[in-house]
């Protein structure tokens, strides 16, 4: 749909006399430009601009006027349309030199020389280069043999199959090439920008290997023409026996091929300009050779060339060592034997013993090229496949076979040098249709690349397809089948078979094909290093960085050395028929991904997909892709597998170690569409219990420098998830987004770095909120998308909540617990998270203890199983403890729990712990009293910070003196828990002592005594705590009873609900410490917060008592749904 633009001139009434000032402004703004310049450093064009050679030099062009003053502050980032169009009109795409566009712009700057505008059109820029690359060695050296072996019908099938593949690929390539500018890199650039760096790097390297092996094939073709048809006597290795001829030929190919490769590499190294100058000469050789073939075919109608083939019976003979196809001849009335006689007999005598087949069959001269009128086409219609060593025989002649064929290998018969079958011929022929990307690789030299590439490429493929089809038919209609199957022309005195058909002389084809192969080899050695250099400069494969450098003029020296080394591997193979299928694989893989890229872009309908070439369809691209894949396995299934493995390894390497690139590729678009489709499907129904897994939201805190406070939370997440499911790492910064923007980005970067270090796969989400409470609420409510939302929240226990002057630290924690409960999310709270193992640790023999008090969905059962999947916890055993009341049957409970675990397929030890209904101890009353008094004191302390610190200090001093006096009366104490650190003990002592102020007044009462069953310490200290736990209260009973009675009035005023909760916490703590103090990890049901927010601080005290003396603890609170099932 055409779009019309109207340009409206706007008069500027401002002062035009300020041009000098504007120039000064430009210089000043250039300083700002240097600070704002975005250096990508990845060796790729700045694709965020509408044109490739965009630079930031024009940012300094300040605007000084009145008409557009409303937009003047945005001129740096949003230039005027006139400026944009001016730069777009002046755009010039550099030629295919060594330097990339962005390097030329950045390095040369204002000193950049004007680049000559490219002037090449469709014919010279695309059509002829494609023609030269497509027509080559296979046409001259193997096509006649393919026609003779496969027959005309199957040869046409091979040609149509391969040409259809390249035509479909050309259509896809034309669509991609016309969807924007294609800079240096050609096909690699198209694939990588369409399919992403992973596919781009893998296919780019495969295309590089294909181009390199194509160089090997052309060099081998050059040497084959040289040694077989031009100067056969130049062979270094000469076979003494007929059976050694093949090995001698291969050795000659290796020696001469290596020398030819070295010579060509030197030519390319010295200067590519000489190669480019000779390109037209080589192209002229190709065109003249083809014209001579058609001229020779026309000549056969009137006067067929004389190339007789000597036949013994129906077997074809090598015509190297004899002149006449006779057994005997008459010279001066004497019958003498010929040279042919001596090849089959043991002597020149007429009575010499001869080969049985030679004796029983006659010699016949058959015309090798009978011409178009001979109707030989009907004989060449069908295939003649056979094993290695099979003799080339004619169906027209009679033969008298003999029983003994053991000596035939020493006879001068024309035989198959390799086993022949259809798929082999497809692999050998396919390189003759490659080269379709020669035009796109020269996109920088074209006047209008978006017009020339589709027309030139498709016309070149159509032309070459016509040439191949007509050649197949004409060869089959003009040349005898036995001569067609004679690969090296041994039956016509070593002449090139296609040369025997040409006019005016066979040497036209021989010389033309020789220079054609030389030129194609030089082109391969020129193009492959530049392709490798383009891949290396993109930086997607780290170990290839060295190949991005070269000489001062940009010539890829190191890439040329690597290319020559890989090319030598193909030359050492030495067989043209063996090398051809190898490069077929790599080219087919490249073409496959070109079709895939076009199909993906078409189906995804990305807004940027607007190719000027309109004659494409995703179905054609998929057909081309399927055809490429089929041809890969038709040619050689094991080569196909090897090529795919190589590409897969490169893909995974780039994915694992390669640089991060964002090229707007189709794979990313496909991922987005697949993710959208999956998210919509996931939201249709909640996940079944069998599919439930923890989708974790990790609430992470950062310090003042935005550094991660508890990185072990990420380690625990990795161990829990093992890379599966969803992980969102959230953080909240207090403030406004406008002022905290930079800090939020820094925090996000630090969190991502910590996630990478801890190998946590997931997403990072940093929220800036006016207060932490709302920020955490927003994260819990809105993190995730659709069906991929979190169902579990993981956070660290606020270990310093008692020492904090700000009560919001623990209030935020409790509110977060309430938020997760309201959202029906599971909650995991890790205490002493910094002591949890890292991903590099390996815990030895130990246990993961689960204290299953209440059932809230089975999270307690599932978490140890998930942890034990990770190598950190793999050696740990699982123990499950459950609590039995007085009226429970503990034996039956244990049996039922074991059966339940059996059905859950979980291996764990089971233990039922009995919890007796003991009277509430005086220790519990004491601890509850201290808790309530502390809470009351903090509510009343509405002092300034200085006064509060002074007050706290006096309370601390008074309480310490009180403790010192009471410790003199104590008779027994226990050591501190070995898991608690000395720093934590000190902090807890001081924190508790601060809140003993109100109990200090009761110290005098403690001197009174009365009778009682237990000894009770009325001031809360660690010594008295462990004395109470060990139940060692027998001694000094009179003092304990006196304290009990004196404090009884205080106990009666306590909240009995708090007393009961404290009693539960103390009793549970005693049992857990007694059973699980040495466990690697303790998982425990987390009690819910009180409904009345007035008791929030008491809730924190209950949890502290519950967790006292334990090192690694994971409090678990279910989300209100079953997460584990016994059903399959």
User: Does 884 score more than 90 pLDDT?
Assistant: no
Of the candidates 741, 746, 788, 738, the residue with the CA atom closest to the CA atom of residue 763: 788
Query: Directed axis angle between helix 449-478 and helix 143-177, to 10°?
Result: 170
Is the distance from CB of 695 to CB of 780 less than 8 angstroms?
no
Where residue 970 falls among pLDDT bands split at 50, 70, 90?
Answer: very low
The pLDDT tens digits of the residues spanning 770-819 come to 888 888 898 998 888 877 888 899 999 888 877 776 777 788 888 888 88
What is the model's pLDDT at position 977? 37
> pLDDT by residue (tens digit) across 1045-1089?
355 444 455 566 677 778 778 888 888 888 888 899 999 888 888
Provide the pLDDT confidence category of residue 16 given band limits of 50, 70 and 90: very low
Q: What's the CA gap between 319 and 489, in Å, rounded? A: 9
**pLDDT bucket at 699, cuts 50 / 70 / 90:** very high
DSSP 3-state of 79: coil
Predicted pLDDT of residue 1056: 64
Question: Which residues, other chains included, contact 714 with Cβ-Cβ below 8 Å and sequence gap of 6+?
Answer: 698, 700, 708, 729, 754, 755, 758, 760
Is the separation of the CB atoms in 650 and 202 below 8 Å? yes
For 331-376, the three-class secondary structure string (H helix, E strand, C coil) is ECCEEEECHHHHHHECCCCCCCCECHHHHHCCEEEEECCCCHHHCH
Q: What is the pLDDT of residues 420-479, one digit of tens each?
A: 999 999 999 999 999 888 877 776 667 887 888 899 999 999 999 999 999 999 999 999
Q: What's 329's DSSP letter? A: E
pTM for the model: 0.67
809-868: pLDDT as tens digits: 788 888 888 888 888 888 999 998 889 998 888 888 889 999 888 877 778 888 888 888
Token digits for 56?
Answer: 């930031």
Distance between CA atoms of residues 628 and 166, nearest Å: 9
Query: Any idea which of 113-127, 419-433, 442-456, 710-724 has the lowest mean pLDDT?
Result: 113-127
Measured CA to CA, the distance from residue 762 to residue 304 in angstroms comes to 76
Query: For the residues 314-320, what does the mean pLDDT come to?
Result: 89
Q: What would the mean pLDDT of 597-623 be, rounded to a whole number?
A: 88
Give the whole-number percent of the chain exceeding pLDDT 70: 73
Band of residue 220 on the pLDDT scale cut at 50, 70, 90? very high
Rounded Cα–Cα distance for residues 679 and 674 (Å): 8
Q: Which range has the worst mean pLDDT, 213-227, 337-351, 624-638, 800-814?
A: 800-814
Tokens of 624: 């081309």
The highest-confidence range among 88-102, 966-980, 1020-1034, by mean pLDDT, is: 1020-1034
User: Higher-confidence residue: 1123 or 638?
Assistant: 638
Could you tell me the two tokens for 35? Answer: 């600070």
Asked which of 32-36, 861-865, 956-960 is least confident by mean pLDDT, the reply is 32-36
Burial string for 1003-1036 (b: 16+ CB within 10 Å, else e) reads beebeebeebebbbbbbbbbbbbbbbbeeebeee
Strand partners, 708: 702
User: At 486, phi and psi to the nearest 5?
Assistant: -85, 95
Task: Sheet with 763-769: list strands edge to edge.
Answer: 763-769, 727-734, 696-699, 792-796, 826-831, 1113-1117, 1081-1085, 846-852, 876-884, 909-914
The DSSP H or E segment spanning 506 is: helix 506-538
More confident: 216 or 902: 216
Tell me if the bond preceding 893 is cis, omega within 30° of 0: no
Mean pLDDT score across all residues of the chain = 77
pLDDT for 623 equals: 96
Q: Ranked by mean pLDDT, which of 5-9, 70-74, 271-275 comes out on top?
A: 271-275
Confidence of residue 561 (pLDDT cuts 50, 70, 90): very high
Which one has a higher pLDDT value, 850 or 883?
850
The radius of gyration computed from the CA coordinates of the chain, to the nearest angstrom, equals 44
Give the residue-averaged pLDDT of 1-12.
45
Given a cut of 90, whether residue 631 has pLDDT beyond it is yes
Q: How confident is the model at residue 353 (pLDDT cuts 50, 70, 90)?
A: confident
Say whether pLDDT at 48 is over 50: no
Residues 6+ apart with CB under 8 A from 710: 700, 701, 796, 833, 834
- pLDDT for 237: 87
Band (997; pLDDT cuts 50, 70, 90):
very low
Structural contact between residues 665 and 194, judged by C-beta atoms closer than 8 angstroms: yes
């Amino acid at each position: 749909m055409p779009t019309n633009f109207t340009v409206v001139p706007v008069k500027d009434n401002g002062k035009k006399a300020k041009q000098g000032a504007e120039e000064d402004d430009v210089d000043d703004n250039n300083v700002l430009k240097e600070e704002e310049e975005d250096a990508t450093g990845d060796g790729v064009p700045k694709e965020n601009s509408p044109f490739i050679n965009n630079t930031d030099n024009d940012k300094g062009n300040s605007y000084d006027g009145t008409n557009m003053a409303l937009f003047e502050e945005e001129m740096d980032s949003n230039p005027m349309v006139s400026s944009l169009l001016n730069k777009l009109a002046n755009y010039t795409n550099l030629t295919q030199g060594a330097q990339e566009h962005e390097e030329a712009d950045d390095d040369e700057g204002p000193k950049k020389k004007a680049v000559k505008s490219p002037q090449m059109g469709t014919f010279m820029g695309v059509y002829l280069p494609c023609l030269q690359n497509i027509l080559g060695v296979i046409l001259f050296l193997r096509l006649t043999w393919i026609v003779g072996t496969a027959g005309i019908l199957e040869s046409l099938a091979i040609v149509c199959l391969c040409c259809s593949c390249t035509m479909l690929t050309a259509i896809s390539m034309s669509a991609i090439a016309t969807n924007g500018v294609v800079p240096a890199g050609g096909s690699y650039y198209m694939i990588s920008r369409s399919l992403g760096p992973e596919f781009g790097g893998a296919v780019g390297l495969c295309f590089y290997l294909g181009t390199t092996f194509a160089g090997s094939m052309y060099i081998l073709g050059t040497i084959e023409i040289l040694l077989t048809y031009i100067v056969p006597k130049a062979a270094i290795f000469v076979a003494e026996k007929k059976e050694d001829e093949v090995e001698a030929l291969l050795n000659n190919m290796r020696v001469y091929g290596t020398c030819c490769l070295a010579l060509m590499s030197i030519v390319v190294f010295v200067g590519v300009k000489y190669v480019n100058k000779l390109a037209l000469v080589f192209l002229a050789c190709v065109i003249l050779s083809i014209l001579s073939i058609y001229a020779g075919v026309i000549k056969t109608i009137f006067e067929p060339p004389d190339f007789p083939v000597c036949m013994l019976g129906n077997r074809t003979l090598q015509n190297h060592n004899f002149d006449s196809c006779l057994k005997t001849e008459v010279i001066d009335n004497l019958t003498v034997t010929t040279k042919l006689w001596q090849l089959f007999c043991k002597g020149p005598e007429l009575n010499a013993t001869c080969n049985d087949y030679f004796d029983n069959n006659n010699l016949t001269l058959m015309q090798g090229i009978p011409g178009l009128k001979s109707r030989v086409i009907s004989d060449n219609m069908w295939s003649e496949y056979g094993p290695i060593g099979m003799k080339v025989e004619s169906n027209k002649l009679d033969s008298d076979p003999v029983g003994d064929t053991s000596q035939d290998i020493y006879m001068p018969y024309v035989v198959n040098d390799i086993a022949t079958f259809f798929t082999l011929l497809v692999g050998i022929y396919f390189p003759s249709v490659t080269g379709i990307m020669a035009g796109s690789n020269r996109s920088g030299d074209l006047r209008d690349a978006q017009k020339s590439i589709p027309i030139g490429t498709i016309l070149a493929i159509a032309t070459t397809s016509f040439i191949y089809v007509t050649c197949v038919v004409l060869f089959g209609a003009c040349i005898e089948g036995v001569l067609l199957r004679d690969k090296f022309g041994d039956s016509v005195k070593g002449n090139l078979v296609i040369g025997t058909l040409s006019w005016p002389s066979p040497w036209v084809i021989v010389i033309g094909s020789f220079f054609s192969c030389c030129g194609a080899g030089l082109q391969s050695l020129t193009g492959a290093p530049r392709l490798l250099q383009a891949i290396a400069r993109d930086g997607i494969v780290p170990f290839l960085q060295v190949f991005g450098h070269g000489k001062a003029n940009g010539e890829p020296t190191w890439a040329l050395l690597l290319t020559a080394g890989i090319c030598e591997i193909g030359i050492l193979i030495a067989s043209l028929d063996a090398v051809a299928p190898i490069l077929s694989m790599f080219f087919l893989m490249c073409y496959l991904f070109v079709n895939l890229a076009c199909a993906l872009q078409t189906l995804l309908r990305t807004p940027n997909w607007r190719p000027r070439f309109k004659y494409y369809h995703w179905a054609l691209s998929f057909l081309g892709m399927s055809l490429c894949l089929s041809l890969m396995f038709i040619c050689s299934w094991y080569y196909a597998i090897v090529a795919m493995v190589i590409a897969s390894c490169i893909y995974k390497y780039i994915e694992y170690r390669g640089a991060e690139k964002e090229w707007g590729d189709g794979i990313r678009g496909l991922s987005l569409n697949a993710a959208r489709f999956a998210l919509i499907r996931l939201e249709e129904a909640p996940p079944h219990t069998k599919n439930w897994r923890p989708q974790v939201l990790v609430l992470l805190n950062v310090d003042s420098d935005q550094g991660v406070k508890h990185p072990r939370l990420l380690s625990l997440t990795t161990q829990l998830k093992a890379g599966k499911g969803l992980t969102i790492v959230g953080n909240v910064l207090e403030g406004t987004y406008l002022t905290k923007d930079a800090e939020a980005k820094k925090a996000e970067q630090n969190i991502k770095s910590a996630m990478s270090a801890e190998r946590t796969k997931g997403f990072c989400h940093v929220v800036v909120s006016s207060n932490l409470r709302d920020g955490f609420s927003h994260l819990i409510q809105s993190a995730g998308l659709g069906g991929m939302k979190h169902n579990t929240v993981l956070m660290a226990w606020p270990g310093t909540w008692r020492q904090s002057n700000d009560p919001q630290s623990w209030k935020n924690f409790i509110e977060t617990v309430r938020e997760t409960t309201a959202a029906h999310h599971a909650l995991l709270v890790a205490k002493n998270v910094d002591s949890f193992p890292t991903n590099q640790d390996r815990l030895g023999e130990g246990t993961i203890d689960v204290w299953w008090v209440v059932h809230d969905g089975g999270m307690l059962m599932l978490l140890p199983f998930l942890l034990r999947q990770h190598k950190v916890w793999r050696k740990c055993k699982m123990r499950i403890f459950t609590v039995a009341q007085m009226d429970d049957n503990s034996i039956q409970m244990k049996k039922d729990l074991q059966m339940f675990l059996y059905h859950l397929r979980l291996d764990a030890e089971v233990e039922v712990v009995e919890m007796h209904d003991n009277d509430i101890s005086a220790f519990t009353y004491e601890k509850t009293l201290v808790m309530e008094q502390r809470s009351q004191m903090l509510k009343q302390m509405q002092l300034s910070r200085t006064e509060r610190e002074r007050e706290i200090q006096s309370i601390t001093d008074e309480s310490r003196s009180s403790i010192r006096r009471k410790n003199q009366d104590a008779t027994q104490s226990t050591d501190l828990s070995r898991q608690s650190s000395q720093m934590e003990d000190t902090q807890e002592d001081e924190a508790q002592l601060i809140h003993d102020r109100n109990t200090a007044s009761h110290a005098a009462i403690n001197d009174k005594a009365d009778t009682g069953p237990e000894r009770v310490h009325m001031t809360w200290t660690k010594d008295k705590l462990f004395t109470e736990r060990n139940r060692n209260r027998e001694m000094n009973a009179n003092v304990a009873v006196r304290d009990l009675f004196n404090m009884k009035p205080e106990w009666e005023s306590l909240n009995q609900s708090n007393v009961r909760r404290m009693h539960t916490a103390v009793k549970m703590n005693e049992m857990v410490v007694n059973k699980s103090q040495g466990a690697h990890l303790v998982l425990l049901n987390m009690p819910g917060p009180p409904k009345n927010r007035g008791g929030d601080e008491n809730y924190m005290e209950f949890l502290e008592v519950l967790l006292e003396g334990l090192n690694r603890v994971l409090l678990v609170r279910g989300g209100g749904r079953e997460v584990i099932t016994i059903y399959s």
